[in-house]
Amino acid sequence: MATLNSNIPAGPLASKWESYKFNTKLINPANKRKYKIIVVGAGLAGSSASATLAELGYEVHNFVFHDSPRRAHSVAAQGGINAAKNYQNDGDSVHRLFYDTIKGGDFRAREANVHRLAEVSVNIIDQCAAQGVPFAREYGGLLDNRSFGGAQVSRTFYARGQTGQQLLLGAYSALNKMIGAGAVKSYTHSEMLDLVVVEGHAKGIVVRNLQTGAITKHNADAVVLATGGYGNVYNLSTYARGANVTASWRAYKRGACFGNPCYTQIHPTCIPVSGDYQSKLTLMSESLRNDGRVWAPKKKEDCKKAPKDIEEGDRDYYLERMYSAFGNLAPRDIASRAAKTVCDEGRGVGETGLGVYLDFSAAIERLGEGKVRERYGNLFAMYHEITNEDAYKTPMRIYPAVHYTMGGLWVDYNLMSNVPGLFVLGEANFSDHGANRLGASALMQGLSDGYFVLPATISGYLASQNPGKRPATDKAEFKQAEENVEALTNQLLGNKGKRTPASFHKALGTLMWDYCGMARTKAGLERGIKLISELREEYWKNVMVSGEGNEWNQSLENAGRIGDFIELGELMCRDALHREESCGGHFREEYQYTPDDPETKQGIVNPGDVKRRDDAFAYVAGWEYAGSPAKAPILNKEPLVYEEVHMSTRSYK
């Protein structure tokens, strides 16, 4: 059994981080350059961490599977980044951001981590502005803000509808400076395929060069994974096609625990699925819910009518009706589930009946088309390209889609996994968003982890390691990991199967969406586990990979990643099955509020809202690999001890 010690520092919540930084061990500048750190990934977390660690004087090696460190999917985040600056003087504070985030996560995040995140948020905006991130500004030259779901203040900073891109380019520029200075060595088209653990500590990785197929070993004093989320396990998602779980999964197989894998975010405002050829889903930014009103026809008969032919009185603005305090800005999990409910009732719109309207006519009337165009022009254009419809004239059709994963490798307060020396940042870790992430918080967390948290916490670990004494790559553990990667590659290439990796991915995606999607049940999850394990067995017998190992081979790349997704899918179902409660994005049909519950009668919640069971499930599930994909993994628990916040019933009414 692994031990999951959160290592939360003592003291009052609001001063933990300050006193931690004061008490942590420092490394003198002359010694810093003797430590080599591997960072895998170059999204917001990976780039910001690589740049900052190099500024501090460490020798940094950064690995990405992309052709350039500027491509990671952080680049696609549209809406914005939260920070408790209170520039709007509307009552925001670090405490309010902290509370909104922990409540938004349905009281399943680690309290101390979330508070630190809220504290650090203000520094991120300063850092990015100084780097030249062109945030939106008011005419006076000061920074502008907008509102996002789950908050009643305007604390979101943005750069048109391309905030993620601009923040990533900022972090990439910081990284460029350090690459140019020779302080970071950048490896592109380099995919991590194994973690090397020596005497229980993470001390290196094995990498395949995607251009040449060369497999190489790299040692380090510490390994940092910033490799993003795993939503592509569903095949269809808003993720980039290349996003994958492989780095995290291989680390899991080397002993790192996987935290809360079933916590998935289904984003409410995506363009609905149109056909089975589809390769990805496209998000329409949550910022649209600032001015757009979500509705569905009240009557089933109206669903096939053109929206303009449906009378005002026959429209159900269901979010405004059900969650009057937050209305269209209800958190994502709630808005998504409400859309599903409406469609399940037969009131969905569009060809498939899986869609609701997001309507801007009121905003256009109030603000004028020009203002709406200025705020959301690029999103309307994107919608038009994909659907061939003009959202200035007719409402958008939207439906929920997989967008983010709150689960990830388990880390302690230092962002270190249970394998010493292995740190995990950004979406790849589990810690800050609980069971549901609020909008504009992913960018905040990625940059907080990379610019500010890890650079402060990693020294505590490194100080316990002798400088200049990292194991060499000729050690047996490195050889074994290299052989493991070669064997897997050869197995995939030598397998004379009949089914393409993509067809397995589609099959897996369907199973995951049906049994581990927006609504989950015991029977469904049990069935999912059975079917996925059968799919896994078929995979290794019947997958067909073309080409050779020593060349650019996308079929081989995908095959490796999909094999890992299949195993992960099974783990997600197991986690969802064991968690006999509903919380945030994890909705178990058996655990929901009914009209008879006192909370419903008091008007705190609606019937059908998620029902947590704090007495039994107020913990992080850290799953430990049992040595073979066919063996049931071991469940470890980290109790969620809240020192200041009371775990209450989440209400947005």
Partner 1 sequence: MKVKLKVWRQKSRNTPGEFRTYESPGLNENMSFLEMLDVVNEDIANRGEDPIAFDHDCREGICGTCSCVINGKPHGPHKGVATCQTYMRSFRDGDTIVVEPWRAAAFPIIKDLVVDRSAFDRIQHAGGFISVRTGAAPDANSIPVSKENSDLAMDAAQCIGCGACVAACKNASAMLFVAAKVSHLGLLPQGQPERYKRVKAMVAQMDTEGFGSCTVTGSCEAVCPKEISLDFIARMNRDYGLALLKGEPKKIAGGVAG
Active site residues: 332
Query: In the bound complex, what is the minimum distance in angstroms from residue 238's beta carbon to partner 1?
Result: 8
Q: Which of 543/640 has CB closer to partner 1? A: 543
Whose tokens are 């870790």? That residue is: 429
Q: 284: closest CA among 355, 371, 352?
A: 355
- Does 634 bind partner 1 (CB under 8 A)? Our answer is no
Range 276-305, binding partner 1 (CB under 8 A): 277-280, 282
Range 411-470, binding partner 1 (CB under 8 A): 451-452, 455
Hey, what amino acid is at 461?
A: Y
- Residue count (the chain): 653
Q: Determine which residue in the list 274, 464, 490, 594 makes contact with partner 1, applying CB under 8 A.
A: 274
Instruction: Give the span between the Cα atoms of 632 and 570, in whole angstroms.
Output: 10
Query: In the bound complex, what is the minimum distance in angstroms from residue 95's beta carbon to partner 1?
Result: 20
Cβ burial of 16 (10 Å; 0-12, 13-18, 19+) is: buried
- Does 544 bind partner 1 (CB under 8 A)? Our answer is yes
- Does 313 bind partner 1 (CB under 8 A)? Our answer is no
Q: Determine which residue in the list 113, 186, 227, 336 makes contact with partner 1, applying CB under 8 A.
A: 186
Instruction: Give the span between the Cα atoms of 483 and 169, in whole angstroms.
Output: 37
- Does 542 bind partner 1 (CB under 8 A)? Our answer is no
Query: In the bound complex, what is the minimum distance in angstroms from residue 70's beta carbon to partner 1?
Result: 6
Q: Determine which residue in the list 7, 31, 93, 188 makes contact with partner 1, applying CB under 8 A.
A: 188
Q: Determine which residue in the list 6, 47, 50, 52 makes contact with partner 1, applying CB under 8 A.
A: 52
Cβ burial of 117 (10 Å; 0-12, 13-18, 19+) is: buried
From residue 367 to residue 406, the character string flagging contacts with partner 1 as x (rule: CB under 8 A) and all else as - is --------------xx--xx-x------------------
What is the token pair recorded at 533? 């394990």
- Cα atoms found within 13 Å of the Cα of residue 481, Cβ hemisphere only: 28
Distance of CA 534 to the CA centre of its chain: 28
CB-based contacts of 622, cutoff 8 Å, min separation 6 = 2, 4, 257, 258, 259, 410, 418, 635, 636, 637, 638
Range 54-113, binding partner 1 (CB under 8 A): 55, 66-73, 75-76, 85, 87
- Does 20 bind partner 1 (CB under 8 A)? Our answer is no
Q: Which of 81/196 has CB closer to partner 1? A: 81
| E strand or H helix that includes residue 297 | strand 293-297
- Does 30 bind partner 1 (CB under 8 A)? Our answer is no
Query: In the bound complex, what is the minimum distance in angstroms from residue 67's beta carbon to partner 1?
Result: 6
From residue 146 to residue 165, the character string flagging contacts with partner 1 as x (rule: CB under 8 A) and all else as - is -------------xx-x-xx
Q: Determine which residue in the list 275, 313, 494, 598 makes contact with partner 1, applying CB under 8 A.
A: 275
- Does 273 bind partner 1 (CB under 8 A)? Our answer is no
Q: 290: closest CA among 153, 393, 412?
A: 153
β-bridge mates for residue 219, sequence order: 204
Range 315-354, binding partner 1 (CB under 8 A): none
Contact 402, 244 (CB under 8 A): no
Contact 440, 82 (CB under 8 A): yes
Q: 63: closest CA among 164, 207, 178?
A: 207
Cβ burial of 575 (10 Å; 0-12, 13-18, 19+) is: buried
Query: In the bound complex, what is the minimum distance in angstroms from residue 342's beta carbon to partner 1?
Result: 24
Size of the site for partner 1 (CB under 8 A): 80
Q: 549: closest CA among 638, 596, 488, 508?
A: 488
3-state SS record for 347-415: HCCCCCCCCEEEECHHHHHHHCHHHHHHHHHHHHHHHHHHHCCCCCCCCEEEEEEEEEECCEECCCCCC
Query: In the bound complex, what is the minimum distance in angstroms from residue 128's beta carbon to partner 1?
Result: 8
Query: In the bound complex, what is the minimum distance in angstroms from residue 5's beta carbon to partner 1?
Result: 28
- Does 173 bind partner 1 (CB under 8 A)? Our answer is yes
Q: Determine which residue in the list 32, 33, 95, 177 makes contact with partner 1, applying CB under 8 A.
A: 177
CB-based contacts of 165, cutoff 8 Å, min separation 6 = 75, 76, 77, 159
Neighbour count for residue 598 (Cβ, 10 Å): 8
Query: In the bound complex, what is the minimum distance in angstroms from residue 622's beta carbon to partner 1?
Result: 31
Q: Which of 127/265 has CB closer to partner 1? A: 127
From residue 581 to residue 620, the character string flagging contacts with partner 1 as x (rule: CB under 8 A) and all else as - is ----------------------------------------
Q: Determine which residue in the list 546, 594, 602, 648 makes contact with partner 1, applying CB under 8 A.
A: 546
From residue 491 to residue 510, the character string flagging contacts with partner 1 as x (rule: CB under 8 A) and all else as - is ---------x-xx-------
Q: Determine which residue in the list 60, 169, 411, 512 makes contact with partner 1, applying CB under 8 A.
A: 169
What is the token pair recorded at 137? 């500004």
β-bridge mates for residue 422, sequence order: 223
Query: In the bound complex, what is the minimum distance in angstroms from residue 319's beta carbon to partner 1?
Result: 25
Stretch that binds partner 1, among 321-329, 431-439, 542-550, 572-580 (CB under 8 A): 542-550
| E strand or H helix that includes residue 509 | helix 501-516
Range 105-134, binding partner 1 (CB under 8 A): 123, 125-132, 134
Range 548-587, binding partner 1 (CB under 8 A): 551-552, 554-555
Helix orientation angle between 246-253 and 554-578, rounded to the nearest 10 degrees? 60
Q: Determine which residue in the list 2, 8, 14, 143 makes contact with partner 1, applying CB under 8 A.
A: 143
Q: Which of 216/555 has CB closer to partner 1? A: 555
Query: In the bound complex, what is the minimum distance in angstroms from residue 512's beta carbon to partner 1?
Result: 20
Q: Determine which residue in the list 44, 174, 225, 409 makes contact with partner 1, applying CB under 8 A.
A: 174
